[in-house]
Amino acid sequence: MDPIKYFTFSMIISISAVNSNFLVFSVSSDDMMGQSFASLVPTVAAAESAIGSAIFVITFRVRGTIAVEFINSIQG
C-alpha cells in the first residue's frame, strides 16, 4: 500500500477511537454532549462522501471518462 492509503486508514481508525471515547465517557458521566458529538462524525463522513461522488459525476459529465490520467489534469 502507498503512504496515502496508510494515512487515510490511520485517520479512520483514530476518528473511530475518538468517537468511541465520546460515547463511553458520555454514558459514564450521564452527559448527552458526547453522544451529540459522536452523532456528528457519521454526518460529516456522509457529507464528504456526497461531495466526492458529486465530483466524480461532474467529471464524468464534462470529460466523458473517469480515467486517472485525465483526472490528474484537474489542478487548481
Look up residue 5 and give its three cell numbers: 492509503
Percent of the residues in the chain that have a pLDDT greater than 90, as a whole number: 7
User: Predicted confidence band at 31 (pLDDT cuts at 50, 70, 90)?
Assistant: confident
Among 72, 69, 73, 15, which Cα is nearest to 43's? 15
19 burial level (CB within 10 Å; 0-12, 13-18, 19+) = middle
Mean pLDDT of 18-40: 86
Q: What is the pTM of this model?
A: 0.60
pLDDT given at position 47: 92
Look up residue 68 and give its three cell numbers: 486517472
What is the rounded distance in angstroms from the CA atom of residue 34 to the CA atom of residue 19?
Answer: 9
User: Predicted confidence band at 34 (pLDDT cuts at 50, 70, 90)?
Assistant: confident
Question: Do residues 50 and 35 touch, judged by C-beta distance below 8 A?
Answer: no
